C-alpha cells in the first residue's frame, strides 16, 4: 500500500513545485507583540506598508492586529498557540468556533487576507517532551473540516511551523526526521500535500553558533567559509543551505522530495549575547535576503529557493521570556518603537528601511541614579527594577555591558520608570532616583523613552487565551458536546 501513496504524493508535490518555479520568493516578517512598549497596530501596519512588506505572520489571532490589517492587502499567517491544541484536537465544535471567531470574522471584501493558519508553534520541539505531538494531526483534521464548512478551505491553508530539531543528520544528504517523529511527520506531510500546503520550518544559524563553541562562525553567514561541509559532490558554505537540504533529504525519505518549503522564522538578534550585535544581524539578514532572492536555491534544490521567508522579527519584544537567552528580546529589524536598527535592503526598491511614522512618545525625560547619593544599599532596588523591566542589554555581550556600575543602576531605574509610564513615584527608589532631562545614553547603549500606546501585551495575550478556553469549555459542556 506504500508505493501508490508515495507516487501520488510525489506527483502532487511535483505539480506544486512546478507552480513555484515561475514564482518569486517573498520576504515577510513575524509580528510578535510580547512587549511592554507596544506601538498602535495601525502604526505597525503603516510600517509594513511603507517598507513594502506584503506578508506577515502573527503568533495568535489578536483582534487589534487583525482589524488593523483589514484592507491593507498584506497576506497574513495567523497562529494558534500550542495550549489550544488539546481542545481543538478533541472537539470539532471548538474548532468550528475558533475558525468562526478568528478567520471567518475577518476575511471577505475589504477584510483581512488570511492565507495560512499556523497550527501550533514548533509543537514537536524536543524540550516539550512530546506533550503536543498527538494533538497536531487531529487538530489539522478538525480545522480542515471547519474551514470547509465556512467555505474557506480553498483559500486558507493549514500549516505547522516546525523547529529544525525535528530532523537530524551528520550530513545534509543523510537528513531524516527524528525516529519518534517519523510516523507523525509522514501523516503531517501527507495532509499538507493533499491540501496544497507547504512545509513550514524555522531555521536559526545564530542558535547553532550560540549553542556550540565548536561551530565555525563564518559558516553561519553567507560570505563564504573556511570550514565548508563536503557532502558527496555537494559543497555547503553556509549553515542555512545545509539545514534546508537536511530537511529536503528528510522529506525525500518519507516520499515527498518536492514538497514546497516556507521558512517560518529566521533571523539574527542585535543584543543580549556575544555575536548578537548590529553588524552581525545586518550581515546575516542581508546575506540571507540576497541569497534567497537570487533564486540560486540549494545543492539539493538548485534554482528553487524557499517559497517564502519570514524574518524574525519585525520589532523587539522586551517582555519575552529570556529562558533561551537574553537575546530573545532583541530579534527585531526595528526597535520596539519602529525605528530601523540598521540599513537593510528587502529587495523591494529601497535600500534602507523606513521608520515608523507618528510614534507618540512619552516626554523626553529619564530616571537615573542620583550621583550625589550613597549607592551602597541599591542592590534590592536594582533587582526590583530588573525583575519587572527589561535589563538584558546590561548582561555579558550586551550593548550596555560596559557602562559601569552607576550606569547599570541608572539603566535599570530608567527601564522601570518608562515601564511605569514615567510615574514620578517610580523614580524614587528611596530617594536614590533622579529625573533628568539630559539623555544619559552612551554610545550604542540607548536609554529608552517609552511610547504612549503601551500595554502589558504578554499578560493580555495569556488572559485572552484563558478566557477563550473557559468560554469554549463552558459552552460545549452546556450544549452537552464536550
Span 113-139, pLDDT tens digits = 999 999 999 999 999 999 999 999 999
What per-residue confidence (pLDDT) applies to 57? 98
Q: Is residue 9 scored above 50 in pLDDT?
A: no
Is residue 345 domain-resident? Answer: no
pLDDT tens per residue across span 30-81: 999 999 999 999 999 999 999 999 999 999 999 999 999 999 999 999 999 9
Domain range for 389 = 366-436
pLDDT of 380 reads 96
Per-residue DSSP letter, 326 = G
pLDDT at residue 21 greater than cutoff 90: no
Active site residue 122: yes
The number of domains in the chain is 2
Residue 361 lies in a domain: no
CA 336/CA 448 separation, integer angstroms: 10
**Does 323 reside within a domain?**
yes
- Alpha-carbon span 65 to 57, nearest angstrom: 11
Plot region of 30 (φ>0 → left; ψ -120 to 50 → alpha; else → beta): beta
Lowest pLDDT segment from 195-199, 334-338, 476-480: 476-480
Q: How many CB atoms lie within 10 A of CB 16?
A: 18
Q: Would you state the pLDDT for residue 24? A: 74
| Judgement on whether residues 395 and 284 belong to the same structural domain of the protein | no
Tell me if 477 is assigned to some domain.
Answer: no
Same domain, 237 and 375: no
**Is residue 56 a contact partner of residue 48, using CB atoms and an 8 Å limit?**
yes
Which pTM value belongs to this model?
A: 0.91
Dist CA 406 CA 369 (whole Å)? 7
Q: Would you tell me the crossing angle of helices 404-419 and 379-388 to the nearest 10 degrees?
A: 50
Question: Hey, which residues does 436 pair with through a beta bridge?
Answer: 366
Whole-number Cα distances in Å, 73 to 2, 33, 111, 114, 471: 42, 21, 9, 10, 32
Same domain, 383 and 432: yes
Tell me, what's the pLDDT at 8? Answer: 39
Average pLDDT over residues 88-110: 97
Under 8 Å CB-to-CB from 340, ≥6 apart: which residues? 333, 334, 352, 353, 354, 355
- pLDDT > 60? residue 10: no
Q: pLDDT of 206-246, one tens digit each?
A: 999 999 999 999 999 999 999 999 999 999 999 999 999 99
Query: Which residue(s) pair with 434 in the sheet?
Result: 368
* 379 shares a domain with 242: no
Q: pLDDT tens, 329-340?
A: 999 999 999 999
**Residue 408's closest CA among 420, 396, 419?**
396
The stretches of 324-393 forming alpha helices (DSSP H) are 379-388
Using the 3D structure, point to which of 281, 305, 329 is the last residue of a domain. 329
- Do residues 325 and 372 both lie within one domain? no
**HSE-up (13 A, CA, CB side) for residue 372:** 2
Q: Of 304, 329, 354, which marks where a domain is finished? A: 329
Q: Is residue 467 part of a domain?
A: no
C-alpha cell at 352: 534602507
Q: Looking at residue 23, what is its pLDDT?
A: 60
Quick one: 408 and 282 in the same domain?
Answer: no
| 71 and 211 within one domain | yes
Q: How far is Cα 130 from Cα 112, in angstroms, rounded to an integer?
A: 34
Task: Please identify which of the residues 62, 265, 317, 328 carries the catalytic annotation.
Answer: 265
Backbone angles phi, psi at 375, to 5 degrees: -105, 15
Q: Which of 60, 122, 317, 328 is catalytic?
A: 122
**Considering the domain boundaries, does residue 9 fall inside one?**
yes
Eight-state DSSP code of residue 228: P
Sequence-ordered list of residues with C-beta below 8 angstroms from that of 121, at least 6 positions apart, any chain: 59, 79, 81, 82, 161
Task: Write the CATH number for 130.
Answer: 3.20.20.80
Are 112 and 17 found together in one domain?
yes
Q: What's the confidence (pLDDT) of residue 463?
A: 42
Q: Say whether both 247 and 382 belong to one domain.
A: no
Q: Is residue 349 part of a domain?
A: no
Does the active-site annotation cover 317? no
pLDDT over threshold 60, residue 475: no
Specify whether 160 is located in the same domain as 14: yes
Write the pLDDT tens digit of every residue in 138-173: 999 999 999 999 999 999 999 999 999 999 999 999
Cell representation of residue 339: 525605528
Percent of the chain with pLDDT over 90: 87
Same domain, 133 and 207: yes
| CA distance linking residue 480 with residue 86, whole number of Å | 18
470 inside domain: no
Residue 349's pLDDT band (boundaries 50, 70, 90)? confident
Please tell me whether residues 309 and 250 are part of one structural domain: yes
Question: Cα–Cα distance between 24 and 265 in angstroms, integer?
Answer: 18
Give the residue-averaged pLDDT of 3-14.
Answer: 37
Q: Give residues with Cβ within 8 angstroms of 18, minimum separation 6.
A: none
Looking at 308, 329, 350, which one is the last position of a domain?
Answer: 329
> CB under 8 Å to 177, separation ≥6 — which residues?
166, 167, 185, 250, 253, 254
| Mean residue pLDDT across the chain | 91
Amino acid at each position: 500500500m506504500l508505493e501508490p501513496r508515495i507516487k501520488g504524493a510525489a506527483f502532487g508535490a511535483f505539480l506544486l513545485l512546478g507552480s513555484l518555479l515561475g514564482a518569486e520568493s517573498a520576504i515577510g516578517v513575524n509580528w510578535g507583540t510580547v512587549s511592554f512598549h507596544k506601538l498602535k497596530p495601525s502604526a505597525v501596519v503603516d510600517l509594513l506598508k511603507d517598507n513594502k512588506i506584503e506578508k506577515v505572520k502573527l503568533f495568535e489571532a489578536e483582534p487589534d492586529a487583525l482589524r488593523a490589517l483589514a484592507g491593507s492587502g498584506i497576506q497574513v499567517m495567523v497562529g494558534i498557540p500550542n495550549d489550544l491544541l488539546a481542545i481543538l484536537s478533541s472537539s470539532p465544535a471548538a474548532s468550528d468556533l475558533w475558525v468562526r471567531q478568528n478567520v471567518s470574522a475577518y476575511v471577505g471584501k475589504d477584510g483581512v487576507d488570511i492565507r495560512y493558519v499556523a497550527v501550533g508553534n514548533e509543537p514537536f520541539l524536543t524540550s516539550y517532551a512530546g506533550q503536543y505531538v498527538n494533538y497536531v494531526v487531529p487538530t489539522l483534521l478538525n480545522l480542515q473540516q471547519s474551514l470547509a464548512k465556512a467555505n474557506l478551505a480553498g483559500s486558507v491553508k493549514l500549516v505547522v511551523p516546525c523547529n529544525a530539531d525535528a530532523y537530524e543528520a551528520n550530513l545534509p544528504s543523510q537528513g531524516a526526521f527524528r525516529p519518534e517523529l517519523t510516523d507523525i511527520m509522514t501523516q503531517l506531510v501527507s495532509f499538507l500535500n493533499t491540501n496544497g500546503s507547504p512545509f513550514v520550518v524555522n531555521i536559526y544559524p545564530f542558535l547553532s553558533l550560540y549553542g556550540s563553541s565548536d561551530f565555525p562562525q563564518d559558516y553561519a553567514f553567507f560570505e563564504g567559509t573556511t570550514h565548508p561541509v563536503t557532502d558527496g559532490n555537494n559543497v555547503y558554505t553556509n549553515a542555512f543551505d545545509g539545514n534546508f537540504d537536511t530537511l529536503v533529504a528528510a522529506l525525500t525519505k518519507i516520499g515527498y522530495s518536492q514538497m514546497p518549503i516556507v521558512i517560518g522564522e529566521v533571523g539574527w538578534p542585535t543584543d543580549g549575547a556575544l555575536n548578537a550585535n548590529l553588524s552581525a544581524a545586518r550581515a546575516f539578514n542581508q546575506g540571507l535576503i540576497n541569497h534567497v532572492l537570487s533564486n540560486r536555491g540549494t545543492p539539493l534544490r538548485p534554482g528553487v529557493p524557499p517559497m517564502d521567508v519570514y524574518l524574525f522579527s519585525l520589532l523587539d519584544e522586551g517582555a519575552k521570556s529570556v529562558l533561551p537567552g537574553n537575546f530573545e528580546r532583541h530579534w527585531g529589524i526595528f526597535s520596539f518603537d519602529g525605528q530601523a536598527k540598521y540599513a537593510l535592503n528587502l529587495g523591494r526598491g529601497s535600500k534602507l528601511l523606513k521608520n515608523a511614522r507618528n510614534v507618540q512618545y512619552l516626554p523626553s525625560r529619564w530616571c537615573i541614579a542620583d550621583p550625589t547619593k550613597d549607592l551602597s544599599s541599591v542592590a534590592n532596588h536594582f533587582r526590583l527594577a530588573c525583575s519587572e523591566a527589561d535589563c538584558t542589554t546590561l548582561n555579558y555581550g550586551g550593548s550596555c555591558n560596559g557602562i559601569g556600575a552607576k550606569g547599570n543602576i541608572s539603566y535599570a531605574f530608567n527601564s522601570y520608570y518608562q515601564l511605569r509610564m514615567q510615574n514620578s513615584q517610580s523614580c524614587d527608589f528611596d530617594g536614590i532616583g533622579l529625573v533628568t532631562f539630559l539623555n544619559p545614553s552612551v554610545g550604542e547603549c540607548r536609554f529608552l523613552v517609552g511610547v504612549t500606546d503601551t500595554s502589558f501585551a504578554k499578560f493580555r495575550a495569556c488572559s485572552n487565551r484563558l478566557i477563550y478556553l473557559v468560554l469554549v469549555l463552558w459552552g460545549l459542556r452546556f450544549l452537552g458536546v464536550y
